[in-house]
Chain A
């Protein structure tokens, strides 16, 4: 089958889902000699004909003149196309224009209950495409390709059945199921049809669940989300409805009002504990290394665990098996390089991707502004961008590689490693200190993440898939300080040495066995994991080292079953039994029902339970360095947070438009919060260091996408309330710190020749903070006095409206030996002073040592910033 025919069939698939049945029209029309493409467009528009053809090739063809009176479409199309060697062939409700000498695209033999197996790959690179959707054109259950794109379907009703194969960011393809086993289906990329960052896709049932909560995202277009100067996949994810985008952070995900520590991010099976660089300004994974991403906002399928409030699954590139590729670029903060080298026998490839910031060597305007904002978040500066009092030297770097080897048609092996770290040297004169003292902080710190995953996929003789993965991951931070404390009253200076090391690490293995059938699919497996959290500190005020170690073993068994109840109704049911240190058994599960009301409209309902055994990293001030929020390993493996979720939604899908709506409710039980991460640190001595409570979030997510003729747009809206209760802190429930009552986001991009302008707009309201009410002086019984600071109820007020508009203009270039693009990105075009949070500081008063002045610091987000982005590909 030629590429042209494949493209034609692809459009068949898309078009055939678009319209209801209709009677054939009769055509009366006159054409002067002109473009065939224009004639076909006219027929489509005026007579509602669905015509599939290669638009690029047909633009150059001319035909005519013609005059038709009451002609049937077949005759009209045949007349127009005959001079160019094409003929029309009707498939379903679509006219496919195929080369005249080619045989029919529709098989003529009819066999019942055939098998259909093979692999879905990228046409250019040969990379397998796991999670591709295969759907019978005649309706019924959709299938998902397994690891590395393998699929094996049996009990297909007839060999004349057409199967639509689709994958986000690629042209869909319609192939007859009569093709023999072992067939490779090669999908071509289709960037032009995508919205700039996000496209909703029909997720693979087996891999992604059937609900609207699971949304795939194409990493290759995440580069249009430049954020504050770096292409960033997390920022693209944050444009989805239900994912907060108002923290101006390219790091963790706040999904449906839950904190980022409640969500889970993985790359090729291993956990990414440290999801960012540069204190959240840049995400930790280089987008050039990522092949695709799937976001689960709601209930998570039972074969996945540890995601209490959302899951982001990233897949690394498997590399180009046929040719070398080099990609390099510069952005406002860093330079990056990606290499893809094929093996000599074309059985695999090696991919390397590295990135390093030059912020320590050449601290530019963007860096200074971002660092200033981060620094000022911790000190009461009158000018938040004035960091002149701090000497700083900061850099971040990361590297990732993946070796992918196809030992045979049936066996594939891959090995992925990701490592990255940040390093900061900071020296500053603290403007806040004890009365009579002056502090000079001098600190060195380094923190970073390393993870690795090995996977072996085996396709068995019966077409089933066996997957074995071994993974390990570690985050470690070190901070050391030699601070000077000058006693202004007695005129002496002493040096305070401090150090702190945190580590969270895991190692484990996972096995899956996947079986696909036309009416049912099974996925069974097991997972074991060993997790360790350790904390070492020596702080001068404690005068004693603290050491905490938590070691835990987690084991899980799971199963999942997809079943077609009717041709239009599908049920997914899964269960998961987990144990922590082989103690209690914690059940989890997932149940999803999907019903297609029409070709365009489907309804979903999901319920699910997940357990999370280890607290993720949290950000907190650790006392070593006041201005900088550190990301440290926090929590104990013995704590188990449980989430129960319910979601119901609808999806309306048309050729150019799609609309998703989903209502949800999520309950989190036994959420553990470190006292020092509270919005306002409580001075109550009876408050335990870790508080336990519950949380609930309810809301509505809406998302609308449009993509046509170079125009790409998305509008997403989130309505929700996220409440929390911590009985030890206060009796009443309060808004969770990650609450965002309403959020509206929009993306629009238009590709015009080599130019592509793109706009991003974000508005939000409902981020809470704790108001400061005032202070009073309380006489003590021994004659002294204390100034007591009083705050309102926790998170009982809302920050001002968040509003941001970004603009990115990109121009592509394509020379004989290389291609690439150059872009200019303007962040926060309106230069609006958005507020991330409100913090309060006590500034000592030398004249009244027992009194302090309270300074309110509205932690601002960056103002207008302009940056250049250059990318070159060889």
Chain B
């Protein structure tokens, strides 16, 4: 019995196992560098109802040195000399939060140059779903493109479509595309007036964000994309070019 007792004691000791170290809640980060535009502010966020750590420092590592960001409200704002990112330049975002250092780096993509449209000033046929204009730009190998259409008139007048629905741009062209051209249909527009279409060039890392739909991985949920070596957040860089349309009544 003594031996059995010794054995049971060994087992009991074996039960004193440490629990794994729990993961500290890190802030979410969303920071996007746009070519030829000043470095953006960095605004940490929280997951769900989590609380934000107050012990955060943020800085950019730029081709010309480090840029510290000053805390201003909920965001951190770049100070000092204004830096306009150029294609091929590498920028890194370093965040120290609760003693944990996180880092992400991006290379600024080239812009899709030589953008042109078959028509830049045209009328909409309110009962027709055919293309109104075709926009083209230079192809960029290894990059995909995101499109954005904005109405510049602060008080736009809606287009009175007949039997069909307008304003489909956001829904139909929200996905990334590889092709360096797009046909805009009458129904992509919702308003008369001056429009701006922006074509963004995205590298694969930032493009993965657009591809992330957890339902596509089967029903099992996948880890969301993160640009950082630790913790959640997206740090990306895009190139861009713009073209303007005027939709005539």
B148 lies within 8 A of A783 (CB): yes
In the complex, what residues of B have CB within 8 A of residue A623's CB?
A: 218
In the complex, what residues of A have CB within 8 A of residue B221's CB?
A: 680-681, 772, 789, 839-842, 854
A433 within 8 Å of B by Cβ?
Answer: yes
Closest to B23 in A: A792
In the complex, what residues of B have CB within 8 A of residue A793's CB?
A: 23
Encode B69-102 as 1/0 by CB contact (under 8 A) with A.
0000000000000000000000000000000000
In the complex, what residues of A have CB within 8 A of residue B174's CB?
A: 782-784
In the complex, what residues of B have CB within 8 A of residue A659's CB?
A: 3, 7
Shortest A240–chain B CB gap in Å is: 15
In B33-61, the 8 Å CB interface with A consists of 45-48, 50
B11 within 8 Å of A by Cβ?
Answer: yes
Which residue in A379, A683, A852 is a CB contact (below 8 Å) of B223? Answer: A683
Query: In the assembly, what is the distance between CA of A631 and CA of B53, in Å?
Result: 44
Interface size of A by Cβ–Cβ distance < 8 Å?
66
B30 within 8 Å of A by Cβ?
Answer: yes
In A57-71, the 8 Å CB interface with B consists of none
In B206-249, the 8 Å CB interface with A consists of 207-226, 229-230, 232, 234, 238
In the complex, what residues of A have CB within 8 A of residue B30's CB?
A: 778-779
B222 lies within 8 A of A621 (CB): no
Interface size of B by Cβ–Cβ distance < 8 Å?
55
B50 lies within 8 A of A774 (CB): yes
B19 lies within 8 A of A719 (CB): no
A684 with B225, Cβ < 8 A, contacts A781-B146, A783-B148 known: yes
In the complex, what residues of B have CB within 8 A of residue A683's CB?
A: 208, 211-212, 214, 217, 222-225
In the complex, what residues of B have CB within 8 A of residue A765's CB?
A: 15, 17
A702 with B7, Cβ < 8 A, contacts A432-B215, A783-B148 known: yes
A774 lies within 8 A of B14 (CB): no
B19 lies within 8 A of A686 (CB): no
B10 within 8 Å of A by Cβ?
Answer: yes
A430 within 8 Å of B by Cβ?
Answer: yes
Which residue in B23, B170, B204 is a CB contact (below 8 Å) of A686? Answer: B204
In A527-565, the 8 Å CB interface with B consists of 541
B155 within 8 Å of A by Cβ?
Answer: no
B209 lies within 8 A of A778 (CB): yes
Shortest A735–chain B CB gap in Å is: 7
Query: In the assembly, what is the distance between CA of A781 and CA of B147, in Å?
Result: 9
In A693-712, the 8 Å CB interface with B consists of 700, 702, 704
A717 within 8 Å of B by Cβ?
Answer: yes
Which residue in A741, A766, A782, A789 is a CB contact (below 8 Å) of B148? Answer: A782
Query: In the assembly, what is the distance between CA of A700 and CA of B14, in Å?
Result: 9
A682 lies within 8 A of B3 (CB): no
Which residue in A685, A774, A778 is a CB contact (below 8 Å) of B234? Answer: A778
In A701-734, the 8 Å CB interface with B consists of 702, 704, 715, 717, 719, 730-731
Closest to A378 in B: B219
Query: In the assembly, what is the distance between CA of A28 and CA of B226, in Å?
Result: 86
Query: In the assembly, what is the distance between CA of A559 and CA of B148, in Å?
Result: 71
In B157-185, the 8 Å CB interface with A consists of 170, 174
A788 with B212, Cβ < 8 A, contacts A768-B20, A776-B47 known: yes
Which residue in A434, A730, A742 is a CB contact (below 8 Å) of B17? Answer: A742
A780 within 8 Å of B by Cβ?
Answer: yes
A92 within 8 Å of B by Cβ?
Answer: no
In the complex, what residues of B have CB within 8 A of residue A779's CB?
A: 30
B141 within 8 Å of A by Cβ?
Answer: no
B232 lies within 8 A of A788 (CB): yes
A783 lies within 8 A of B170 (CB): yes
Shortest B16–chain A CB gap in Å is: 9
A789 with B211, Cβ < 8 A, contacts A682-B222, A798-B19, A841-B221 known: no
Closest to A840 in B: B221
Query: In the assembly, what is the distance between CA of A780 and CA of B170, in Å?
Result: 12
Query: In the assembly, what is the distance between CA of A680 and CA of B222, in Å?
Result: 6
B23 lies within 8 A of A771 (CB): yes
In A840-862, the 8 Å CB interface with B consists of 840-842, 844, 852, 854
B224 lies within 8 A of A781 (CB): no
B136 within 8 Å of A by Cβ?
Answer: no
Shortest A676–chain B CB gap in Å is: 9
B32 lies within 8 A of A781 (CB): yes
B46 lies within 8 A of A776 (CB): yes
A782 lies within 8 A of B232 (CB): no
A435 within 8 Å of B by Cβ?
Answer: yes
In the complex, what residues of B have CB within 8 A of residue A781's CB?
A: 32, 146, 148, 200, 238
In the complex, what residues of B have CB within 8 A of residue A138's CB?
A: none
Shortest A315–chain B CB gap in Å is: 32
Query: In the assembly, what is the distance between CA of A701 and CA of B94, in Å?
Result: 45
B21 lies within 8 A of A685 (CB): no
In the complex, what residues of B have CB within 8 A of residue A464's CB?
A: none
A796 lies within 8 A of B21 (CB): yes
In the complex, what residues of A have CB within 8 A of residue B204's CB?
A: 685-686
Closest to B13 in A: A719
Query: In the assembly, what is the distance between CA of A771 and CA of B215, in Å?
Result: 19
B229 lies within 8 A of A731 (CB): yes
Which residue in A433, A744, A783, A844 is a CB contact (below 8 Å) of B11? Answer: A744
Query: In the assembly, what is the distance between CA of A779 and CA of B28, in Å?
Result: 13
Query: In the assembly, what is the distance between CA of A513 and CA of B90, in Å?
Result: 65
A773 lies within 8 A of B47 (CB): yes
Which residue in B19, B170, B200, B217 is a CB contact (below 8 Å) of A784? Answer: B170
A786 lies within 8 A of B210 (CB): yes
A379 lies within 8 A of B219 (CB): yes
- Extra pairs beyond A742-B15, A789-B222, A841-B220 (4, CB < 8 Å): A684-B208, A773-B23, A783-B170, A786-B210
Sample (24) of A-B pairs whose CB atoms are under 8 Å apart? A379-B219, A380-B219, A434-B215, A621-B220, A626-B218, A681-B221, A681-B223, A685-B208, A702-B7, A702-B10, A704-B7, A719-B14, A735-B20, A742-B14, A768-B20, A773-B232, A781-B148, A782-B148, A783-B148, A784-B174, A784-B210, A790-B223, A798-B19, A839-B221
**4 cross-chain pairs, A with B, having the tightest CB-CB distances, nearest first:** A774-B47, A792-B23, A788-B224, A840-B221
Q: Which B positions have Cβ atoms within 8 angstroms of A?
A: 3-4, 7, 10-11, 14-15, 17, 19-23, 25, 28, 30, 32, 45-48, 50, 146-148, 170, 174, 200, 204-205, 207-226, 229-230, 232, 234, 238
